[in-house]
Amino acid sequence: SQQGEEDPQALSIQEGENATMNCSYKTSINNLQWYRQNSGRGLVHLILIRSNEREKHSGRLRVTLDTSKKSSSLLITASRAADTASYFCALRNAGGTSYGKLTFGQGTILTVHP
């Protein structure tokens, strides 16, 4: 099954700046999710966007989905040093025998400097 490809692989910014991460994929999806992982810890779910949605917000997070381009972006506004983590997109494919399974990308490592 496919996995999302995140870009960039690493991003380094100053506190207060916005951070944008992108995820591209190849086949049809039911939904796309973004997760965050602090170093050596478990993943934490941030936001889910369904294939019939184009944009979702949660606090300082904004996710967009363009199914025609098969891509999604995660924007973190007014970043803080505590946002330093790895961010992963996860795909739930539409249909097929692997329904219900999430496929994770390699992630974007975000570093926010105080």
Residues forming contacts to other proteins in the complex (CB under 8 A) are 3, 31, 33, 35, 40-45, 48, 88, 90, 92, 98-107
Least Å distance, CB 42 to other proteins, is: 4
| CB burial of residue 103 (10 Å; 0-12, 13-18, 19+) | middle
Least Å distance, CB 52 to other proteins, is: 14
CB-wise, 91 or 112, nearer to other proteins? 91
Distance from the first to the final alpha carbon of the chain: 39
Peptide bond into 8 cis (omega under 30): yes
CB-wise, 52 or 68, nearer to other proteins? 52
The four Cα atoms 82, 35, 49, 2 give a dihedral, to 10 degrees, of: 150
Least Å distance, CB 23 to other proteins, is: 12
Helices (H), the chain: none
CB-wise, 76 or 105, nearer to other proteins? 105
Amino acid at 60: R
Least Å distance, CB 17 to other proteins, is: 26
CB-wise, 14 or 99, nearer to other proteins? 99
